[in-house]
Amino acid sequence: MSTRRSETSVPALQKLAAPVTVVALVAIWQLVCSVGLVPSFLLPSPVAVVQALIGDWQLLAGHAATSLAEAALGLAAGIALGFAAAVAMDRFELVYRAFYPLVVLTQTIPTVAIAPLLVLWFGYGMLPKVVLIVVATFFPITVGLLDGFRSVDPDVIDLMRSMGASRTQVMRHAKLPASLGHFFSGLKISAAYAIVGAVIAEWLGGFSGLGVYMTRVRSAYAFDKMFAVIILISALSLVLMWVVGALRRRLMPWERGGD
């Protein structure tokens, strides 16, 4: 009886580990600020950050809507281009050898370095933000799908072809199901990159967005509002990653069956 209780208590403790850690860190943060170990103009307390978040909530919501729209467009375009590139590189070996190094090269270029060029080329509207997000999200999607396509057992493909299956049928019934896990892993990373990419692009020019709001409050040395927008950006990224995880569980029910 005691063994069963201990076994059931372990998962409960594991679920509480992260919330308890976060609460403990926030409590330490508040204590450091309350006793004056760090000046308030350098490190605002959690209470001041929450007050700033509530006080500017309507303004933050408007800027967040702009950043989310940019992230959604860029992520959708990144998924479409990544899928097309992965299919082409899986189908043609020459395309793989020619373009895979270029795909990897896109991840060696700092987004902060190319953001000013995109603003110079495309102006201060939404287009340069979307392009930067596509550059940031394209790589995880492409590599994830390509690894998934190539993880299929060659004997399975040979068997399907011997039974008269076309390339489209092999892709649909063998390669796509095998690539779903890799795809959602890359999509979770890309979802976080999308928000961060939008904010970075907005730092360098724009009329609305969380990055624009961040540059304004930074110029005013309003660090409580600075921390508030950082927390909001982190929360949005976590929500998007949770949505991807929920979509994965929905489309891959066999993973839940194996738990």
Tens-place pLDDT, residues 71-117 = 999 999 999 999 999 999 988 889 888 888 888 887 777 777 787 78
Angle at 28 (CA atoms; ends 25, 33), nearest 5 degrees: 130
118 contacts 128 by C-beta, under 8 angstroms:
yes
The whole-model pTM stands at 0.81
pLDDT confidence tier of residue 254, bands split at 50, 70 and 90? confident
Helices (H), 92-175: 93-105, 111-122, 127-149, 154-162, 167-170
18 by DSSP, 3-state: which? Answer: helix
Percentage of residues in the chain having pLDDT higher than 70: 93
**What is the spatial distance between Cα 102 and Cα 141, in angstroms, rounded to a whole number?**
15
Structure-block tokens of residue 54: 């509530």
Please determine, for residue 1, whether its predicted confidence score (pLDDT) is greater than 50.
no
Please determine, for residue 246, whether its predicted confidence score (pLDDT) is greater than 50.
yes
Does the structural domain 42-257 have CATH classification 3.40.50.170? no
pLDDT confidence tier of residue 45, bands split at 50, 70 and 90? confident
How high is the pLDDT of residue 8? 52
- φ, ψ of residue 258 in degrees (nearest 5): -85, -5
The residue ranges of every structural domain in the chain are: 1-38, 42-257
199 contacts 211 by C-beta, under 8 angstroms:
yes
235 contacts 111 by C-beta, under 8 angstroms:
no
147 contacts 125 by C-beta, under 8 angstroms:
no
Q: How many CA atoms lie within 13 A of 170 on its CB side?
A: 21
Percentage of residues in the chain having pLDDT higher than 90: 12
Please determine, for residue 248, whether its predicted confidence score (pLDDT) is greater than 60.
yes
Please determine, for residue 258, whether its predicted confidence score (pLDDT) is greater than 70.
no
Of 125, 95, 129, the C-alpha closest to 201 is 129
Please determine, for residue 192, whether its predicted confidence score (pLDDT) is greater than 90.
no
How high is the pLDDT of residue 79? 92
How high is the pLDDT of residue 161? 86
**Burial tier of 194 (Cβ tally within 10 Å: 0-12, 13-18, 19+):** buried
pLDDT digits (tens, 9 = 90+) for 148-190: 888 888 888 888 888 888 888 888 888 888 888 889 988 988 8
